[in-house]
Amino acid sequence: MTPTRLPRRQPTPPRATDAPEPVMERRIIEPISPTAHPWISVLASGSSGNCSVIVWQDDHRTHAALIDLGLSPRRTTRLLASLGLSIDAVSFALLTHLDSDHIHPGWSGPRSPRFPVHLHESHAARASGPARGLDLHAFSDRLTLPGLHADAMLVSHDELGASSFRLRFASGEHLGFATDVGRVTAELIDHLLGVDVLALESNYCPILEHASSRPDFLKRRIMGGSGHLSNEESARAARAIGPREHLILLHLSRECNRPSIALERHAAIDCPVTVSTHAEPTLPIHIRRSPRPPHHPQPVVRVGRQSMLFAHGVRA
């Protein structure tokens, strides 16, 4: 998908009766140079399945890793092939958490591809069901992998939380990845501050969420601070984190969000913005060390015992 920038203008409130809009994208996958920077493509993102691929060089070898396994092995293999990658090139996977849209049961099949799968130790004890048969490795907060360090932080999401990642490549580039974020804390901002490329969820439009036919308990789960980020919360977090080269929006709700609304809410972000979709991979997005000066963080407001950059904006 072509990175999209919108002119800065005042957001217009969406109408709850708006029909889902078609996503206009350019579907030409540009060839990847084997000597290029690390890159990321979001193969698909949303409640029907999440999976991203990152690719980098180390010792003249090309490495690929998946973040989440929420698509079937067959679909993952096909989408990787559309990017010129073989499933055999995947060295490992990182799991953010164990919800079914992040770990597809097909990966437990006896003939599915096998590679190490890393997940937070707090999820490991629950991994027997959805991740049965996988080559699981538990981490606490830091992972050292070939050509790559990953620092993980648990964010509020349902009972067990979800891992957000700051990946630092040996060549010096930084990628931040945070999805299924119940609320944004100062610690999360610190964790991801000033990354070169940031992938961040922008799940719902509060107007469409409130107007939807979803049951109240589900609306409360999504908007209550342990579910997902609204477009507005995502935009405030992204401004505070200050990605220096590129922002990728993840996990848009098909029912309660629109790409155009999410982009409009992120119009003040000072870098290109790409919206991922549930249906097709994004174009490869290069992760380059930014020549731009470091971001200056916003002052942190502390609320009670928990430090918050800003209070959670929506109450069910």
Contact call for residues 186 and 300 (beta carbons, < 8 A): yes
The verdict on 180 binding Zn ion (CB under 5 A) reads yes
Piece in contact with Zn ion (CB under 5 A), picked from 6-14, 173-181, 194-202, 284-292 = 173-181
**Residue 45 Cβ vs Zn ion, minimum distance, rounded to whole Å:** 9
| Pair of tokens at residue 175 | 């990628």
| Interface with Zn ion in residues 85-104 (CB under 5 A) | 101
**Residue 95 Cβ vs Zn ion, minimum distance, rounded to whole Å:** 11
**Residue 48 Cβ vs Zn ion, minimum distance, rounded to whole Å:** 10
Q: Which residues pair with 51 in a beta bridge?
A: 44
Backbone angles phi, psi at 241, to 5 degrees: -70, -40
Distance separating alpha carbons of residues 183 and 306, to the nearest angstrom? 12
**Residue 239 Cβ vs Zn ion, minimum distance, rounded to whole Å:** 23
Taking the least distance from each CB to Zn ion, the nearer of 101 and 173 is 101
| Pair of tokens at residue 52 | 């991203």
Taking the least distance from each CB to Zn ion, the nearer of 180 and 245 is 180
Distance separating alpha carbons of residues 78 and 80, to the nearest angstrom? 5
CA distances in angstroms from 168 to 192, 216, 289, listed in the order given: 11, 40, 11
**Residue 179 Cβ vs Zn ion, minimum distance, rounded to whole Å:** 6
| Interface with Zn ion in residues 101-140 (CB under 5 A) | 101
Taking the least distance from each CB to Zn ion, the nearer of 180 and 264 is 180
Number of residues that bind Zn ion (CB under 5 A): 2
The verdict on 201 binding Zn ion (CB under 5 A) reads no
Taking the least distance from each CB to Zn ion, the nearer of 278 and 286 is 278
> Taking the CA of residue 298 as centre, how many other CA atoms within 13 Å lie in the half-sphere pointing to its CB?
19
- DSSP of 282-308: PPPEE-----SPPP-PPPPEEETTEEE
Question: Under the rule (CB under 5 A), what is the footprint of Zn ion?
Answer: 101, 180
